[in-house]
Amino acid sequence: GAVDLIPLHPLTETVSLEDCAFLANDIAKEIILQEPRVSFFLYGSADTENRGLINRRKQIGWFEGEIKAPPDLGDFHPACGITGIGTSYYMTNFNIIINTTDMKIGTQILKAIREKTGGFKGVSAMAFPYQGGIEIACNVDMFTDDPIDNQHVTEIMPGVFRTKFSSIQNVVERICKEHGTSIRDNSMVIGFTPEEAARRTEIALNSRIPDYYKLNINEIRM
């Protein structure tokens, strides 16, 4: 769409997914009033069926570039495309570069850290060549299920948890050591942690500087 995605995330315990869902619907309807050619599909808690973003994109035809289902709000116009708007808990990108080009090592790491292969809760990941090594790119989602292993989990808000970045890094280091290689000295969180996002949002609102989040952006190195 003219705008690909408008995601809303609760960043403090005083805001719920339901609050964000109500706001997401309100925002979409207000934009359509101002620009009737814009249309939206809903995902997460803003969607009545609570369908995830990837599933909604597949259903809409986003990956094919051809609309296969009608928008949830508004009427589709090719000039403006279709925009996703919805709510979910915050996701943080955590990337690690390892000093090898052997993709078998990257694949072994993925199996060890991904939730779907028995790794860490809320972690999905990819491995690809990067600057003469392999980058392990992780999406680390927050979750509400009671953690089975508290050792590897931190509580972000009451009842909302996230796998520790240090736990992911420790597994990567261990597997690298087994293969006689190592991680580079620049493991990093790309973008903002939920804590930093909440801090910057509060400053932006209080100072009435909506673009505050763009100021002094630095990668947070571990």
Least confident of 83-92, 114-123, 187-196: 187-196
Helix (H, G, I), strand (E, B) or coil at 20: helix
Instruction: Say if CB 80 and CB 55 are below 8 A apart.
Output: no
Q: What is the pLDDT of residues 124-138, one digit of tens each?
A: 999 999 999 999 999
Position 152, amino acid: H
Q: How far apart are CA 11 and CA 157, in angstroms?
A: 8
Name the percent of the chain lying above pLDDT 90: 66
| Mean pLDDT across 56-71 | 88
Strands 82-87 and 5-8, bridge-based pairing:
parallel
Of 117, 143, 114, 140, nearest in space to 127 by CA: 114
- Alpha-carbon distance of 202 to 111, in angstroms, equals 38
Query: Is the torsion defined by CA of 24, 30, 35, 41 positive or negative?
Result: positive
What does 39-90 look like in DSSP terms, one character per residue? EEEEEETTSTT---HHHHHHHHTTTTTS--S--SBS--BTTTBEEEEEE---
Question: Model's pTM, two decimal places?
Answer: 0.78
Q: How far apart are CA 198 and CA 206, in angstroms?
A: 12
Q: Higher confidence at residue 215 or residue 193?
A: 193
| Tens-digit pLDDT profile for residues 147-173 | 877 899 999 988 999 999 999 999 999
pLDDT in tens, 87-102: 999 999 899 999 999 9
Task: Provide the pLDDT confidence category of residue 113 given band limits of 50, 70 and 90.
Answer: very high
215 has a pLDDT exceeding 70: no
Buried b (16+ CB within 10 A) or exposed e, 33-43: eeeeebbbbbb
The confidence band for 19, taking pLDDT boundaries of 50, 70 and 90, is very high
